[in-house]
Structure 1
Amino acid sequence: MNEAATPGPRFRRVLLKMSGEALMGDREFGHDRRVLRQLAEDCAAVHAMGVQLCLVIGGGNIVRGSTLAAAGVERSTADYMGMLGTVINALAVQSVIEQHVGIPTRVMSAIPMAAVCEPYIRRRAVRHLEKGRIVIFAAGTGNPYFTTDTAAALRAAEMGCDAILKGTQVDGVYSADPKRDPAAERYDHLTYLDVLARDLKVMDASAISLARESSIPIIVFSVHAPGAFARVLRGEGPHTIITEEALA
């Protein structure tokens, strides 16, 4: 028997954080069917590796609280509207994962809405993961003034995740926007303090600080590259890893 051909995953339990805008594909609003199916297939590949998987998805493809606040909507109301957008995305992703790849999935909302999903209860969420279900956390932290990045770091800490995977539009963290600056440098490794001191906009400062306090590494990769999620978990492919100490 030859079992050494493909390296196994580096982590037992992970949280994938991605923006709502990532679900739009080439559209200007809503969901792209191709992107949803690719996400489902990538999650299925990770699930097949024996990794327990949970997700946090933003709501910017539906409504952005910060944009509404700038337009004159009261900030707390705007943020709650943004949270409802994340629930819409979570339900869409749940449906596609279950129908397209057949993996049981649970949506757990920080704002109770029993008709469409479960309320967030930490011990129940852990049990879902242990039973091999994918868990999607929706409605952020349930509080205004906190981003879904902070919600992702909070849920990762509560679930005892070994890593946060941040799926972005590019294949790692760069010194500048690589789409605007061809000379931008991609970093293979950064510390939490590097990200904060250089204001690199990977995740907001609260999320970075919480990940640091919980000693959860953050791995940044391109969510649009098919199969990249599983490759990164095996330590392959381009990505940036953020930890407490610089790697040797």
Structure 2
Amino acid sequence: MFADLSPADQAKYVAAKRAVELVEDGMKLGLGTGSTAAWMVRCLAQRVKAEGLRIQGVPTSTRTADLARELGLEVVTLDQAGHLDITIDGTDEFDSALNLIKGGGGALLQEKIVASASDRMIVIADFDKHVPQLGKFPLPVEVLGFGLASSRDHIARLLADHGLAGCDITTRKQGDAPFVTDEGNFILDLHLAQIPDAPALAIALNQVPGVVENGLFIDICDRVILGASDGRIEEHVRP
């Protein structure tokens, strides 16, 4: 199967397979969202089937829940699980401190809640996701539909205060309509190019009325596993 995959999927598969090797019998797991996380769910299902592992998975989106159930994994809610051993998820960017930008798949709220409820968060990615400074990938901010224009104006002023004036703020679309999250909210994508102080911006964004959560994951990720199409693996651990 590996040889039949595209180079991008080969890299995702390699990282996912390594992460799933860290799963032990009896664990409760957070199951991430996105194309890389989907490979993790597939690899996990293979281990469960081959080894008879007893695990429970808490998905971070309806897409992940549907895939996990289709592959025969036991799916529970976070309230049912109560506590998670590991969350395995992808990322859109990460820096040397293992701070992340997530939310390209539109599931940042559930992803952050699930990751924060876990003893460890393991991120799987390809080598291109490692950046010297966060911000090249647009930063997603989940907002209420009520007062959307007001929230956008507040965010624009906040960005100016953080030395990021003039950055584009776009409402994420799905076709011609706004993209709607699993919680019924909208997403504003902040095209920043760079984020000089990601921890400070993460705190400030969540003070804006109408903002539900932002895609900066600060001091949450414990390990990043990078995969390459040639089978190479590299791991980064938070200091």
- With the shorter chain as reference, the TM-score category is 0.3 to 0.5
Tell me the TM-score normalized by structure 1: 0.38
State the TM-score, normalizing by the size of structure 2. 0.39
Higher strand share: 2
Structure with more relative contact order (C-alpha pairs < 8 Å, separation 6 or more): 2
